[in-house]
Amino acid sequence: MDINKYLKRIDYEGKHEKTLETLASLQTSHLFSVPFENLDIHRNIKIDLDKSFEKIVINNRGGFCYELNGLFYQLLKELGFNVKIVSARVNQGEKGFGAEFDHMAIVANIDNEQYLVDVGFGDFAYIPLRIILDKEIPDPRSVFRIEKFDDVYNIVKQKSEDSSFIPKYLFSETERVIDDFKNMCVFHQTSSESHFTQNKICSLPVKDGRITLSGNNLIITKNNNVETKELKSEAEVNIVLKKYFNIIL
């Protein structure tokens, strides 16, 4: 991996010290530079986890959890952080939680404290979340809490409209390797039961909100105000991808 190219891709010019401050800065820089997107799934292009660096760094694209967290994990390892990949099961509402390896996340150990790190879950945490039970964990744009759920952890996020919390996913601290996720990566690209095959998405936070392409709708959230514009053609979609995400398909 060419670390300098990766850091340039995420517009990071800060320190390389193995501290919580550096980790938080890297995570935030990544989230604001690399979109969460599943565009290749809807172009019938196979996602190859061995080519994530080429796709994201060289070709200026985004990706979904296996690509984003998988590559970010490799960057953190190269920089000397004590990190590991973990498996998570995403909350699917009435269907319960997804299967094992449904989602990939990262756990970092800094000064003997464990932190949940995730740059591949769309609108989620902007900084590492300390894994401490039943305490409100503030984040720049929300509040989280980690609860014990049988022998794993349940990460819940506070709703923006009220003070209630909703489950996001279950995760454990068991270390995994990227190959463990490859079958579920194929599932999410091909199965009609995967939400990734239902609708194309490309989403990126900005200073005062978030910009999202969902299907043929451009959704701009600014200071909690939401504006939606329907895109009439693939040409308009491509214009939006270039203008807001700097993506040229």
Q: Which two tokens stand for residue 207?
A: 């200073």
Quote the DSSP letter at residue 60.
-
Assign 204 to helix, strand or coil. Answer: strand
CB 135 within 8 A of CB 145: yes
Residues 75-108 have pLDDT tens digits of: 999 999 999 999 999 999 989 999 999 999 999 9
Residues 39-86 have pLDDT tens digits of: 999 999 999 999 999 999 999 999 999 999 999 999 999 999 999 999
Q: Give the residue from 108, 125, 1 showing the smallest Cα distance to 52.
A: 1
Taking the model in full, what pTM does it have? 0.95
Q: Give the residue from 123, 120, 163 showing the smallest Cα distance to 145.
A: 163
| Vertex 189 angle, CA 239 and 5, to 5° | 60
Counting beta carbons within 10 angstroms of the beta carbon of residue 140, is it exposed (0 to 12), middle (13 to 18) or buried (19 or more)?
exposed
| Helix (H) / strand (E) containing 212 | strand 209-214
**Residues paired with residue 217 on neighbouring β-strands, in sequence order:** 214, 230
